[in-house]
Structure 1
Amino acid sequence: MNVLIVVVTLFVLTAFAAQSGYEGNKVYRLKPTGKKQLEMLANLRNEKNLDFWTPLRRDEHPVDVMVNFKEEKWLTDLLKKNNITYDTLIDDVDSAVLEEHERQIFFPPTKQGRISFIKYHRHEEINAYLSRLAKDYPNLVSIQNIGKSYEGRDLDVIQISTNSSAGKPVIFIDAGIHAREWIAPAVALYAINQLVENKDNANLLEKVDWNILPVLNPDGYEYTHSTLLQRFWRKTRSQGNKCIGADANRNFDFHWAEIGSSSDECDDTYHGKHAFSEIEAIALSNYISQNKNRIKLYLTLHSFGQLILYPWGYTSELPRDNEELLSLGEAVAESIKNVSGTNYIVGSSTNILYAAAGGSDDWAKGVAGVELSYTIELPGGGLLGFDLPTWKILGVAKETWEGLKTFCKHISEKFN
């Protein structure tokens, strides 16, 4: 009977994949050289049939782009015309999505309130884990619901504190603002696991409290899990006039809609009808504003690119404390590299990438006044892009955890 179930499931999945919106799509790795080629690619970022999987960097680093099969010839002709070299990274996106989905569904289910790092967990499983920790460790963990998503899912922040010293500085971490970036919530979960369930890390709670929101965009995150048709969905799921959702990381009310986002609600970087049009962005901003006197470090986890970025995203001008931001970022990058050799690039967003205004990291520093604010672009899956294989989750989580400990050391020393 078990064999029959597996065979039938595979048959259904194969049939479903044949109807996928990614049928015939490819991913190309473009290798621009020179300012002219970079500017040409920058102008293509909002093309509806192109999906830039990696940020476009100013240092001529390769960029991965998924192309709709209908526009494949147009893109390759354009690249050749502009002398931009490229390789085929994923020849069949449809098959890659199916393979990932098969890996997910065939992992044994975890017990209620438990997690592992051999699969990507659903939002309900994640919140159940947070609730279980609050029950098992009442003197260490509390849960604060900061609101609900557009579709009514709970936005739960886990607050981890020994309460040994009132008013300790807070490190705040969020993940999953972009739905398709599954590794980000997984890394946030690993940090929670290490802080609460690993007694060897008790020293990290002596002088610092940790507040973590594992999935900021649960509607989009669940959407990417529940349908093969939209594995690479990025936005929220709010209702628009023509299309669904907005890019919540372009929706914050700080230089909103100035540069690096789209006014077309069908685009992946649509900045929303107005600043803070997205209920998830409002919930986050309200929580940070209410705790801004204690939050000394804001971290938002993304993927992929192996970048440690700090403000500003709307301008190439450097913040007045650039020296500290750069030095701390480099120390974190070194800590990560020491684990398994993973290299991160560190710098202000617009001096590494092309400008993008309205991000949460800019808002946290520029409006809420959080001194130290960073975006961490975690590693991707090499030839699999966003489909970071499940067997790589733990390795990425462990090396990133070492970087988080370096952040903690700095906050402990500076604010106590």
Structure 2
Amino acid sequence: MMSSAKGPGPRTLTLIWISIVLVFSMSLVSPTVGVTTSVSGSDDQEAEPDFEENFRQYFDYYSMTEYLQGLQARFPDLMKLYSLGRTFEGREIWCAKLSDSAAIVDDGDPGSEPDVLIVGAHHGNEWISYETALYVMTFLLENYGSVTGNGSAATYLLDNREVFFVPMLNADGTQYAHDTDRGWRKNREPNYALDNTPGPLRDPDLVPVSYGVDINRNYGWMWHDSGGSNVILSSGSSYRGPPDNKDDDGDAIVQFDIRHGIFPGPDEGVDEDPWDGIDNDGDGKIDEDPAGGFSSAETIAMKELGDTHDFRTAITYHSYSELILWPWGYTHEVPRDGPVMAQLGGRMAEMNGYRPMQGVDLYKVTGEFNDWFYAEYGTFGYTFEIGRTHNIPAEGILNHTRLNLDPALYLIYSAENPYISYLRFRSNMTTVTRDGDVIRVEIPMEDEGYPFALRMEEASLVYRWKGGPWERAGVVLGDDGNLSGSIPVDVDEGKLDFYLELKDDMGNIITEPAYAPLSLVSYHLKLDSIFSLYFGFDTVLVMLFTLGVSWGGFSLGIAKSIRSDRSREGKNG
């Protein structure tokens, strides 16, 4: 007679109880219980924006004009479109001012919003230059006011800056490159054989010997210096334009007399004090009788724009070489602000992978945009040499415009304080831990030469719980350079938003993340008990894998134990 069925043996029961206790213990020690993290306004990849459909083909002057007018109609509060003047062939030199109240200067508080200048198409064959300017401009308009990461950047910048875009400075040359000669570089003004004589002596019925001036050799600063442009050969691709040949300050000792071959120069009091920052003729005045420069409508327009605004930073887009350049372009001498310009240029180069250098290290240029704006106005100007060819195909437009968006946003942001480029925050290494009644925050920071003392007694973590009022917690700077602070936990659960705010002894305010308080670090605090557990997605994956391995092993062990028990029972039956 067979014996009656028995339950699992002691060995099997022991394995089952061990597996239950192990799984329960794993759930209690999950590393994501209690707090989860997110950053609002981060640079996470977002879906391709609709406005990018406008950048599948190159604009020409006429389609760009229509596009700008369309943006003006759609964003009348954010954009003011106007003309800086007309080119030789009568095209408008369009300028678009972008700000939260574009029709009002600095929101009615003069000087409160730094000015930034972005210029494209100094050269007619460099089409990607104006496409990039248009892309940055469109990005700011289309994302203003949105709740995405892009919206945080666009909204902050237009609320706190005035950004001027001149997307197609060389409208004549660009249109000629579209219609006639893809490689055309200069503008389209005529050059005459008598251009080296005083302007009034030129015969308007003469036939031009060539066309075009290189606009980026026609600015005043060091225009007269040799080796950085075509001086006499007007057909050359970098022809700087005709000399001034006028006695601008009225001290000439000899007058022009073409019939007798008398052409007075600096020694006779004509063009004796060029744009170089020096009193060359010893009359107590500086640069009052320039040798040349600003002979073209385009550079005259830019000079007038610079004279009437305080541009802190600027970009002029060109192609090609994948470089970021800054002054000086005419000499290897390092300018007064050379170190900070190099630091800022280097930070932007980290974003697009370009090579940063002082302009002259590429080759010498005279009468150039960045040199003029820095020498005359103190503007930190940068040349972006985009791509590896002038003739970038249309399907490559978005690759280059996207790549150069973040550096442009960073330069606009840095206009308030370019020295911020010396402070490097390692946001991806920020640690946040719950310690009883406080949340402890540690933010790694590297000081690469910030020239102003940080007032740590005023440093703070600005925080709020569950969307409530903003409060402040103190911050200390450790010997390792890291910043740390503690935020009181005065809620059982809910969302914590915070950002870091620093001040220096010059009154500059520095925040991390940038664009704060529109961009914030957010934490979600959950009840820290076994009845209210929160598992992050990564933790769930780890648990499933571990449970699979654990349960697989335990299942085999349990099955083997049951078989062993039954075998033993069979032998005893």
Question: Per the shorter chain, which TM-score range?
Answer: 0.5 to 0.7
How far, CA to CA, are the matches of 1:256 and 1:394 in structure 2? 36
Q: Which letter does structure 2 place at the counterpart of 1:253?
A: G
| Cα deviation, residue 204, structure 1 | 2.1
Q: Please tell me whether the aligned partners of residues 52 and 398 of structure 2 are also in contact (alpha carbons under 8 angstroms).
A: no
Counterpart position of 2:237: 268
Does residue 281 in structure 1 map to residue 232 in structure 2? Answer: no
Distance 1:296 1:375 in 2: 15
Q: In the alignment, what sits opposite 1:388?
A: 392
What residue identity is the alignment partner of 1:254? W
**In structure 1, distance between residues paired with 2:159 and 2:414:** 13
Q: Output the CA distance in 2 between the equivalents of 1:280 and 1:125.
A: 20
2: CA distance, partners of 1:303 / 1:257: 25
2:256 aligned partner: none
SS at match of 1:286: helix
> Superposition pairs for residues 340-359 of structure 1, below 5 Å?
343-350=353-360, 352-359=361-368
Structure having the higher helix fraction is 1
Aligned position for 2:176: 223
Is this contact kept in 2: 1:250–1:257, CA < 8 A?
A: no
What amino acid is aligned across from residue 324 of structure 1 in structure 2? Answer: V
For 1:369 and 1:141, how far apart are their aligned partners in 2?
A: 26
Aligned counterparts of 1:379 and 1:298: Cα–Cα separation in 2: 19
Measure how far apart 1:119 and its partner are: 0.7
C-alpha separation between the residues in 1 aligned to 2:386 and 2:84?
26
Structure 1: which amino acid aligns with 2:170? N
Which of residues 209, 213, 217 in structure 1 aligns to 2:166? 213
Gaps of 5+ in 2: 1-50, 145-150, 193-208, 244-292, 419-507, 510-573
* Selected match of 1:178 from 109, 115, 123: 123
Specify the alignment match of 2:406 in structure 1. Answer: 402
Counterpart for residue 411 of structure 1: 415
**Contact 1:257 1:271 survives alignment (8 Å):** no
1:140 to 58, 73, 78: 78
Query: Deviations along 1:362-405, whole A, 9 cap, x unmatched?
Result: 000112332x111111113xxxx321111110011011001111
Q: Give the Å deviation of 1:226.
A: 0.4
How far the C-alpha of 1:114 sits from its partner, in A, is 11
Counterpart of 1:367 in 2: which secondary structure? helix
Contact 2:373–2:381 under 8 Å retained in 1 = yes
For structure 1, which segment, 122-131 or 388-397, has the greater mean C-alpha deviation from structure 2 after superposition? 122-131
Matched, 1:116 2:54: yes
- Mapped contact 2:88–2:188 kept (Cα < 8 A): yes
In the alignment, what sits opposite 1:169? 114
Question: Which amino acid is 2:134 matched to?
Answer: L
Deviation digits for residues 288-326 of structure 1 (CA, Å, limit 9, x no counterpart)? 1111x3x11121110001111011111110111111101
- TM-score (norm. length: structure 1): 0.67
- Hey, what does 1:100 align to over in structure 2? none
Structure 2 counterpart of 1:152: 90
Structure 1 gaps, min length 5? 1-112, 337-342
1:368 is matched with 377
Percent same amino acid at aligned positions? Answer: 30
Q: Is it true that 1:301 corresponds to 2:310 in the alignment?
A: no
Root mean square deviation of aligned Cα: 1.8
**Take 2:92 and 2:413, find their aligned partners in 1: how far apart are those partners?**
31
- The one-letter code sitting in structure 2 at the alignment partner of 1:169 is P
Equivalent position to 1:239, from 190, 194, 198: 190
Shift of 1:409: 2.5
User: Secondary structure in 1 aligned to 2:347?
Assistant: helix
Match of 1:378 among 379, 386, 390: 386
C-alpha separation in 1, matches of 2:53 and 2:365: 35
Distance 1:314 1:386 in 2: 24
TM-score (norm 2): 0.49
Corresponding residue of 2:333: 317
Structure-1 separation of matches of 2:63 and 2:313: 27
SS in 2 for 1:379: coil
Cα contact 1:207–1:412 (8 A) shared by 2: no
- CA deviations over 1:41-96 (Å, ceiling 9, x no partner): xxxxxxxxxxxxxxxxxxxxxxxxxxxxxxxxxxxxxxxxxxxxxxxxxxxxxxxx
Which one has the largest radius of gyration?
A: 2
Q: CA offsets, 1:319-351, max 9 Å, x none? A: 111111011001101122xxxxxx31112111x
Shift of 1:115: 6.8
How far apart in 1 are the matches of 2:335 and 2:386?
23
State the partner residue of 1:256: 223
Question: For 1:290, which of 308, 314, 325 is the aligned residue?
Answer: 308
Shift of 1:144: 2.1
1: distance between equivalents of 2:52 and 2:338? Answer: 41
Q: Distance in 2 between matches of 1:123 and 1:154?
A: 9
For residue 412 of structure 2, what is the amino acid of its counterpart?
Answer: C
1:303–1:378: 8 Å Cα contact kept in structure 2? Answer: yes
Q: Give the 3-state SS of the residue equivalent to 2:318 in structure 1.
A: strand
SS of alignment partner, residue 377 of structure 2: coil
Partner amino acid, structure 2, of 1:266: S
> CA separation in 2, counterparts of 1:130 and 1:118?
17
Q: Alignment partner of 1:206: what SS?
A: helix
